[in-house]
């Protein structure tokens, strides 16, 4: 299950419980359903925190995304670790093309960003 699917399930549960809350005939039921809704809101926040920790959004411009897609079409994942030069790898080369740094200048964070996007392209958001 993806984070989006988990979030959707919680949102569906919230909608269902709100319908139940609106039909609650007594104050005790309203308190109960109010507590349920609060727990569901907490669950939604937890899912968002987990997403940010384990699958953060990778923002790219359209041009960067196009370069990324071209690299994915022309390279296999196993190619990324191959040494392009004694000083940098193909992964560094791909990162440089997309993020604009020179050969051998990729930071660990930049490499991790490209690896995350490579393995989980659903985390990519194209921005202007």
Is the per-residue pLDDT at 61 higher than 60?
yes
Write down the H helix ranges in 55-123. 62-74, 90-99, 108-119
Beta partners for 83? 89
pTM, full prediction: 0.67
pLDDT band at 4 (very low <50, low <70, confident <90, very high): confident
Stretch 84-99: mean pLDDT: 76
pLDDT of residue 16: 79
Residues 6+ apart with CB under 8 A from 110: 95, 99, 101
**pLDDT over 70 percentage in the chain:** 84
The predicted structure's pLDDT at residue 27: 61
Band (87; pLDDT cuts 50, 70, 90): low
Please say if the pLDDT value at position 101 is more than 60.
yes
Q: What is the CA radius of gyration of the chain?
A: 22
- 21, 30 contact by CB (below 8 A): yes
Buried b or exposed e, range 82-104, using 16+ CB within 10 angstroms: eeeeeebbbbbbbbbebbeeeee
Neighbour tally for 34: CB within 10 Å? 13
109, 118 contact by CB (below 8 A) = no
């Amino acid at each position: 299950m993806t984070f989006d699917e988990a979030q959707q399930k919680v949102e569906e549960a919230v909608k269902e419980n709100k319908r139940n809350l609106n039909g609650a005939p007594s104050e005790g039921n309203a308190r109960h359903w109010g507590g349920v809704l609060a727990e569901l809101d907490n669950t939604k926040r937890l899912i968002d925190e987990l997403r940010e920790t384990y699958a953060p959004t990778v923002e790219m411009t359209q041009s960067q995304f196009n370069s990324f897609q071209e690299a994915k079409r022309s390279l296999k994942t196993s190619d990324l670790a191959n040494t392009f030069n004694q000083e940098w790898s193909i992964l560094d080369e791909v990162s440089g093309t997309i993020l604009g740094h020179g050969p051998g200048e990729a930071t660990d964070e930049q490499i991790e960003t490209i690896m995350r996007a490579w393995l989980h392209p659903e985390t990519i958001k194209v921005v202007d």
